[in-house]
Chains A and B, each alone.
Chain A
Amino acid sequence: MTQHGRQGTVPDEAVTSRDGHKAVRITLPSAMSAVETGRLAMLDYLTPLAVDEMVINRLEVVLEELVTNVIRHGAVDSLTVEICARPEAIELAVEDAGPEFNPLESTTPSRFTTLEEAEVGGLGIPLVRRLSRSVRYERVEDEEPARNRLTATIARA
Chain B
Amino acid sequence: MMTELQISNVDGVTRATLQGRLDSGTVDRIELSFTAGIVPVGKPAVVDLTEVTFLASLGIRMLLSTARALDRRGAKLALFGANPAVLEIMETVALTEIVPVLQTETEAVALVTA
- The docked-state distance in angstroms from the alpha carbon of A68 to that of B23 is 10
Query: Given A32-B25, A57-B54, A57-B85: A112 and B68 within 8 A (CB)?
Result: no
Q: Determine how close the nearest CB of chain A comes to the CB of B51; give it in whole angstroms.
A: 15
A112 cross-chain contacts in B, Cβ below 8 A:
93-95, 97-98
Q: Is A130's beta carbon under 8 Å from chain B? A: yes
Q: Is A64's beta carbon under 8 Å from chain B? A: yes
Q: Please give the residue numbers on chain B whose beta carbons come within 8 Å of chain A beta carbons, in ascending order.
A: 23-25, 28, 54-58, 60-61, 64-65, 67-68, 71, 84-85, 88-89, 92-95, 97-99
Q: Which of A120, A124, A131 contacts B68 (CB 8 A)?
A: A120
- The docked-state distance in angstroms from the alpha carbon of A90 to that of B58 is 24
Q: Is A114's beta carbon under 8 Å from chain B? A: yes
B98 cross-chain contacts in A, Cβ below 8 A:
112-115, 118
B61 cross-chain contacts in A, Cβ below 8 A:
120-121, 123
B95 cross-chain contacts in A, Cβ below 8 A:
112
Q: Is A73's beta carbon under 8 Å from chain B? A: no
B71 cross-chain contacts in A, Cβ below 8 A:
115-116
Closest residue of chain A to B89, judged by CB? A61
A131 cross-chain contacts in B, Cβ below 8 A:
89, 92
Q: Are A68 and B68 in contact (CB under 8 A)?
A: no
Interface of B: prevailing SS = helix
Q: Determine how close the nearest CB of chain A comes to the CB of B105; give it in whole angstroms.
A: 21
- The docked-state distance in angstroms from the alpha carbon of A88 to that of B60 is 29
A62-82: CB near B (< 8 Å → 1, else 0) gives 001100100000000000000
Q: Determine how close the nearest CB of chain B comes to the CB of A118; give it in whole angstroms.
A: 6
Q: Are B57 and A127 in contact (CB under 8 A)?
A: yes
Q: Are A54 and B68 in contact (CB under 8 A)?
A: no
Q: Are A118 and B24 in contact (CB under 8 A)?
A: no
Q: Determine how close the nearest CB of chain A comes to the CB of B49; give it in whole angstroms.
A: 14
Query: Given A35-B25, A64-B24: A111 and B94 within 8 A (CB)?
Result: yes
Q: Is A91's beta carbon under 8 Å from chain B? A: no
Q: Are B93 and A61 in contact (CB under 8 A)?
A: no
Q: Determine how close the nearest CB of chain A comes to the CB of B111; give it in whole angstroms.
A: 14
Q: Determine how close the nearest CB of chain B comes to the CB of A78; give it in whole angstroms.
A: 18
